Amino acid sequence: MEFATSLIFAVSPRCCDFFLPRSYLVNYFDTYSAVPLFPKYDRKDYLTAVKNSFDQVQQLLELLICKERLYLLVILRLIRLLILIGLNESTFITRVFSLFKYLNNKVSFSSAKIKKYLKQKSKESVINVLYNDLKETGCDSLIIVYYQLEDIPSKISKWEKCGIIKLTYNSAKGFRSALQQIKSSVVTGGNVISKNQSQDKNTGLISGTLKQLAISDCPKAQEATRKIQVWFRRIYKRVVFRSDYDTLFNKIYNDMTIFCQTLIDEKGKKAVRKYNILLKGQTVNVIAELIMLQEKMEVIKNRLKKIINNHPSGTDEIDSCFELEDDLKYDQYEKVELALKSLSITENSSKHKEANFEWLENELHQAEDIIGQVWECIDECKAEISSFYFTENFISKKISKSQNSADETPYGDCDDWQHTY
């Protein structure tokens, strides 16, 4: 809904000159390689599209307001979207304020943020509230998106004086370049702080606090330090994994987009429309998951191998580890590899160029079945590994080791394999 409404603003029949949150630009326009287009709608169709968006938001909002505690964040996002509709299409600002007044009288909201939005009665005041609200998150801000044409100044550029950044462009390439600059920085007030600077500052503060706790004579403080360190390591590993996945996903998507354009050039847009939708959607997701599964299997296989090497053979437990390792190493890994080769636009390009929708749909169903089978095997391996790690002897050794060093993670080995993926 947020993305669709943003795209409507981007094809306004007038000059593109509108407000958007930085998060919209990064999460939607950058992720899906969208670019504000040249004016496309005529005035009547444009207003109809805006009205449809407004009505959808209003209907959803009225359904959720009775369950504010459950849907607080969703309600906030819907209210912000209504404000953007009012700011970017002035003919709707009165309707927005009327709806806010109605909601404010009908429902007793507990959220101070929601109340603050609903009490606004002027465009200037609601811009200030939205600007400050987004800034408070620490990772978002209000942006002016402006398509620069000769002799047509931005009507909302006056807000730059208040610290709102303006993304100016006059071509698709110019938009992508300006977007990367917006993406690479976090805007706070009128200053631009790089992500690395912000992270370094926070890391240094946390590290210093943990060191002070670690050298404390209080046993509770030392125990708290160890627990915090375990938590930070787990969060860090998840962030690294997510970053790796996003990088991989974007690369696959970009390669797929190029291949889809090749198909359009060869066969025509209409002939490959459905096939390209499946390629850039479900196929990208499945390929990314198959590749990440290969890495997960490698981690689990190494854990099994370590157990096999460190324990005497001949027991039922070790025999089970051997069987699981062989299943993972040969059977499951081969299935994943064959599925990847079949879906690959480089290794199987000739088949993909046939643009056979039924064939691709069938291959994706098979790949999803394989993913399910591999996950079952991985879960079985994890259960077997746990039977070796979570023993009284193992835990007592880890506790003893962690007490000798404040920087050690208690139960470090099992923590590593359980939370890396």
pLDDT in tens, 285-302: 889 888 888 888 888 888
pLDDT of residue 225 exceeding 90, the answer is no
Per-residue confidence (pLDDT) for residue 394, from 0 to 100: 45
Per-residue confidence (pLDDT) for residue 115, from 0 to 100: 86
Per-residue confidence (pLDDT) for residue 207, from 0 to 100: 52
Residue 2: strand, helix, or coil: helix
Which of 57-66, 94-103, 410-419 has the highest mean predicted lDDT (pLDDT)?
Answer: 94-103
Q: What is the mean pLDDT of the chain?
A: 75
pLDDT of residue 100 exceeding 60, the answer is yes
Per-residue confidence (pLDDT) for residue 41, from 0 to 100: 53
Q: Please report how the helices 219-267 and 269-278 are oriented relative to each other, as an axis angle in degrees rounded to 10.
A: 160
d(CA 299, CA 26) in angstroms, rounded, equals 32
d(CA 379, CA 372) in angstroms, rounded, equals 11
Per-residue confidence (pLDDT) for residue 384, from 0 to 100: 76
Q: Residue 117 CA to chain centroid, in angstroms?
A: 27
Per-residue confidence (pLDDT) for residue 302, from 0 to 100: 85
End-to-end CA distance of the chain: give it in Å, rounded.
31
Q: Are 11 and 37 in contact (CB under 8 A)?
A: yes
Pairing of strands 185-188, 165-169: unpaired
Least confident segment among 43-52, 124-133, 332-341: 43-52
Per-residue pLDDT of 12-41, as tens digits, reads 666 678 889 988 888 877 666 555 544 455
pLDDT band at 386 (very low <50, low <70, confident <90, very high): confident
DSSP string spanning 88-133?
HSGGGHHHHHHHHHHHHHH-----HHHHHHHT--SHHHHHHHHHHH
d(CA 398, CA 410) in angstroms, rounded, equals 6
Q: Compare 147 and 405 and report the one with higher pLDDT.
A: 147
Q: Compare 263 and 64 and report the one with higher pLDDT.
A: 263
For the chain, percent of residues with pLDDT exceeding 90: 9
Per-residue confidence (pLDDT) for residue 80, from 0 to 100: 92
pLDDT of residue 79 exceeding 90, the answer is yes
Which of 80-89, 158-167, 399-408 has the highest mean predicted lDDT (pLDDT)?
Answer: 80-89
Per-residue confidence (pLDDT) for residue 397, from 0 to 100: 46
Residue 263 tokens read as: 């198909």
Q: Compare 192 and 20 and report the one with higher pLDDT.
A: 20
Query: What count of other Cβ atoms lies within 10 Å of the Cβ of residue 292?
Result: 16
The pLDDT of 259-284, averaged and rounded, is 88
Per-residue confidence (pLDDT) for residue 198, from 0 to 100: 43
| pTM, to two decimals | 0.46
pLDDT of residue 366 exceeding 70, the answer is yes
